A and B are shown apart, each in its own frame.
Chain A
Amino acid sequence: MSTTTGERTLSFDEALATFDPVMGLEVHVELGTNTKMFCGCPTEFGAEPNTQVCPVCLGLPGALPVVNAVAVESAIRIGLALNCSIAEWCRFARKNYFYPDMPKNFQTSQYDEPIAFDGHLDVELEDGSTFRVEIERAHMEEDTGKSLHVGGATGRIHGATHSLVDYNRAGIPLIEIVTKPIVATREKAPEVAKAYVATLRDLLKAMDVSDVKMEQGSMRCDVNLSLMPRDGDTFGTRTETKNVNSLRSVERAVRYEIGRHAAVLTDGGSITQETRHWHEDTGITTSGRIKSDAEDYRYFPEPDLVPVAPSRETVEALRATLPEPPAERRRRLQTAWGYSDLEMRDVLNAGLVGLVEETVAAGASPAAARKWWSGEIARRANTEGEDVPAYAARLGVTPAHVVELEGLVTSGRLNDSMARQAWEGVLDGEGTPTAVADARGLELVQDTGALEAAVDAVIAANPDVAAKIRDGKVQAVGALIGQVMREMKGQADAGAARAIILERLGQA
């Protein structure tokens, strides 16, 4: 099947005029544990193929799994953060099917006894409203290996001369979070889907249970979508778009499938229950495997593992470790900092909330914290392909530097442009703001005699401008200030210069 041309789709508005979308989102999250789900192998991303494997995660004959206690704790914490009930007793099950990159030909997963169930997550939409997504379950499972098909044109198994399998990923702990059907979103369906995944991502990141890097596959979303007639109550046949790997794609995939389903249904056709592949480049989905409800994985309780039975004390102790939910934290900080919505969004999008918070805590004003972390350093970090916190950490630039820089300005030693020069020096590795200012000779001239002399000289040299100001055109003062600054080689306090000029010209 071609991946450059899609099937016929109806426009989004047309589709929504006739149909209501129903979504189900399944998000797989790789946990950031040091070791795998059932063995002690490391989980680092990007290692040489098949270097992080052992008899257990290779499924060698005789090897047995043992549950990673840290993964279970993470699963419980995630469940609690999603307002779920935590099972008092649950088991792993075997999901049996043959697949070359699955070492045992069964996946150790949870089936009818998930660790967490019946929760919800509130997501904020752009119009400021809140939408509640109901959570069906969050369960634990292990990841599979990764196949690489070699010799074909497409990188797919079809046409390949041989395949390579990397089992480094096999056995990495996964949490699968499954929503209940999301209805009544209407035209907001794509936005809700994106906002849900984004909220989940922020939450999991704040909890420090996963690095939630969608582009590296440590967080992946399967989008189930069906349409029902406008204001109907019977769900249509659904399709499952697998492994959508960015927030933007989640939104686009929902939108695309709504249009595609609508076109098929409007044309009198019927939707085939199947998995579909998402194509990031073209923004379309293509048909994958036909999936029937009768698909038989022959689940049964994993006999090699004892049940998981967390005590209520353990669960409550884990609840106490949960961070403040990101949305609440955002609201609290915005109020505390007095940022406008736009300012707050900029800080959020740049991933600066933590740095700003630390900097304010260290004694800087919220305005200065925002100004210094989002200016020159953000530009340089972007060029380096890093986010600001990582870049700053690498350079050794800290909140204390910002506090010091602001102090130099408020104490009157530096003006704004000098402060910028000092900050650049800090970023160039020349030392603390004070050290840079010392080394570069940055200092406002405090000698009022010199300033007054400069003002008098400038007034004498510009009689026309001086006359205008005497006549009340005070805004013309800027031109004179600029000349005074030049005269003083930038080391004058512009405010003081302005005051002296106005005084001399009878406007004070």
Chain B
Amino acid sequence: MTTDLTRATAAELADLLGAGSVSSREVTRALLDRTTAVDGVVRSYLHVDEDGALAAADDVDRRRAAGEGLHALAGVPIAVKDVMATRGLPTTCGSRILEGWVPPYDATVVRRLREAGMPILGKTNMDEFAMGSSTEHSAFGPSHNPWDLDRIPGGSGGGSSSVVASFQAPLAIGTDTGGSIRQPAAVTGTVGTKPTYGGVSRYGLVALASSLDQAGPCSRTVLDSALLHEVIAGHDPMDSTSVDAPVPAVVEAARRADVSGMRIGIVRELTGEGFQPGVQARFDEAVQHLVDAGAEVVEVSCPSFTYALAAYYLILPSEASSNLAKFDAMRYGMRVTPDGVDAPSAEQVMAATRDAGFGDEVKRRIILGTYALSSGYYDAYYGSAQKVRRLIANDFAAAFETADVLVTPTAPTTAFRLGDKLDDPMSMYLNDIATIPANLAGIPGLSLPSGLADEDGLPAGFQVLAPAMVDDRLYSVGAALEARLAAAWGGPLLDRAPDLTEVSR
């Protein structure tokens, strides 16, 4: 066996496992060893569950040997963002306030992974409660970009993207509230999909902003994302906002990879000015590849997108301020008693705990949200933001009249340096400008690598957006583009990433 199991894609691993040429234990062991070798510098993981992953792998191997019918991805290991509840495995959301909390239940997504027989390697790092675009706001320290360890791996799901980009896992679960799957995918040269809102259950996903949050796949190929998408998607009676409709045929679409006759809409407001020239150049080339593959290009305008960022930064903190109220030191997580108080009241303990347990970005957004929801300001802020949200949905609806999918660069720039934007939240927020509209409208989006920017040699991302519940179209376009790009590059983009074992030694 000469295949480097850590470099194999999930689809390749599934074939090897299915054919019996490799065991899940071998695959899992190889990935855990890779983690031992490189995670000291990448820091993708908050918790690694070596015993649990190997036990799950052994279980699958046993069942396969017994001739049981198994899921296609059975035995393929996966990492999970630390925002999903995992029974018996710590779930901290990157926050001190949840340090040591071990949920007594599994998120629906996690349950489906376990049912498919996918060993869970561990929980990946993230910006605290998914607030941030760089993973620098994790209370346990930042993750690093495998392409350049001095740079951010994107956020909030930087752990899930870097774990895939650094070959510690073929697949990871991310969550995307304003771009936290797609933007990290873009800056790490990986693939990330935000499914249609409600397409994947939110049960067990610790809520940041309930009306925006969506779990989805992180992978190295478009087909791998589709395979994972199929495992985790589908109606969940435990989530009232879960869509009760058949899951789109995403795997089939990824395998077909056909864009002939498809109308590709370029969003005027999300191109050109404000986008790094190298990012824009790779985007333009990618569009040309799609035209070469038989697609037709149209330009569309979405004028309300101008207000998307403002609306997002009112809705998100509003919902977050309420969702995070449950972290009060009464039932779980950390408890801090205030200094110099003899017999502190419940309120004083809550206040002291929240003060010590939440980081600056979280406090900033709680304060913002509390203000935006307060009675005198509700209409001016939260109410107006909800109106903008409807306008944005209308813009998308109109754009999808003329185009089958919309395309944009995923993020305006390549990965910025760690620390560069820590003191300037506004400029960090701008990184999500192209991804946020999809969350506000609830439509699906996928990011795949479009190449390396000339200025810095770092990955740039290409975003595809489709109408709600037409997630399959993302995979048709993504897979077609991926095939053409790989042919042009002579192999996957990640083959050009630095070999981290040199650095870690």
Contact = CB atoms under 8 A, between A and B. Distances in A.
Interface of A: 55, 58-67, 94, 96, 98, 100, 103-106, 157, 163, 165, 294, 296, 298-300, 303-306
A65 B318 CA distance: 19
A61 B373 contact: no
A294 B375 contact: yes
5 residue pairs, one from A and one from B, having the closest CB atoms: A105-B325, A303-B210, A298-B373, A303-B211, A62-B204
A74 to B, nearest CB: 19
B215 to A, nearest CB: 11
Contact of A60 (B105, B210, B325, B330): B105
Contacts of A299: 373
Given A163-B346, A304-B210, A62 B85 contact: yes
A105 B323 CA distance: 9
B104 interface: yes
A296 B239 contact: no
B101 A61 contact: yes
13 contacts: A55-B105, A59-B326, A61-B101, A62-B203, A62-B206, A96-B322, A100-B330, A157-B345, A163-B346, A296-B375, A303-B211, A304-B202, A304-B240
Given A64-B240, A298-B370, A304-B207, A96 B202 contact: no
B92 to A, nearest CB: 10
Interface in B309-330: 318-319, 321-322, 325-328, 330
A298 B375 contact: yes
Given A66-B240, A298-B374, A61 B103 contact: yes
A299 B379 CA distance: 12
B241 A306 contact: yes
Contact of A62 (B205, B209, B319, B345): B205
A64 B322 contact: no
A218 B419 CA distance: 56
A61 B93 contact: yes
B398 interface: no
Interface of B: 84-85, 91, 93, 98, 101, 103-105, 107, 202-207, 209-211, 237-241, 318-319, 321-322, 325-328, 330-332, 345-347, 350, 370, 373-375, 378, 382
B97 to A, nearest CB: 10
A299 B326 CA distance: 16
A294 to B, nearest CB: 7
B346 A62 contact: no
A303 B319 contact: yes
A66 B239 contact: yes
Given A62-B85, A66-B238, A67-B240, A98 B322 contact: no
A467 to B, nearest CB: 92
Contacts of B237: 66
A55 B331 CA distance: 12
Contacts of B330: 100, 165
A64 B375 contact: no
Contacts of A306: 240-241
Interface residues of B, dominant DSSP: loop
Contacts of A65: 240
A305 B322 contact: no
B318 A300 contact: yes
A298 B209 CA distance: 16
Given A59-B331, A96-B325, A98-B325, 6 more contacts: A60-B104, A61-B98, A62-B203, A66-B238, A100-B328, A105-B326
A89 to B, nearest CB: 15
A267 to B, nearest CB: 34
B204 A63 contact: yes
A306 B237 CA distance: 12
A165 B347 CA distance: 15
Nearest to A304: B210
Contacts of B375: 294, 296, 298
Contacts of B205: 62
A63 B318 CA distance: 19
Contacts of A157: 345-346
Nearest to A99: B346
Nearest to B370: A298
A347 B85 CA distance: 57
Greatest chain B CB density within 10 A among A58, A67, A104, A298 is at: A298
Greatest chain B CB density within 10 A among A62, A66, A94, A104 is at: A62
B64 to A, nearest CB: 31
Contacts of A165: 330
Contact of A106 (B204, B238, B325): B325
A165 B346 CA distance: 12
A204 B382 CA distance: 39
Greatest chain B CB density within 10 A among A60, A294, A306 is at: A60
Nearest to B347: A98
Contact of B203 (A64, A103, A106): A64
A64 B239 contact: yes
A55 B240 contact: no
A407 B210 CA distance: 69
A64 B207 CA distance: 9
Contacts of B241: 303-306
A100 B346 contact: yes
Greatest chain B CB density within 10 A among A58, A61, A63, A105 is at: A61
A353 B414 CA distance: 79
Contacts of B203: 62-64
A3 B131 CA distance: 50
Contacts of A103: 326, 331
Contacts of B346: 100, 157, 163
Contacts of A59: 326, 331
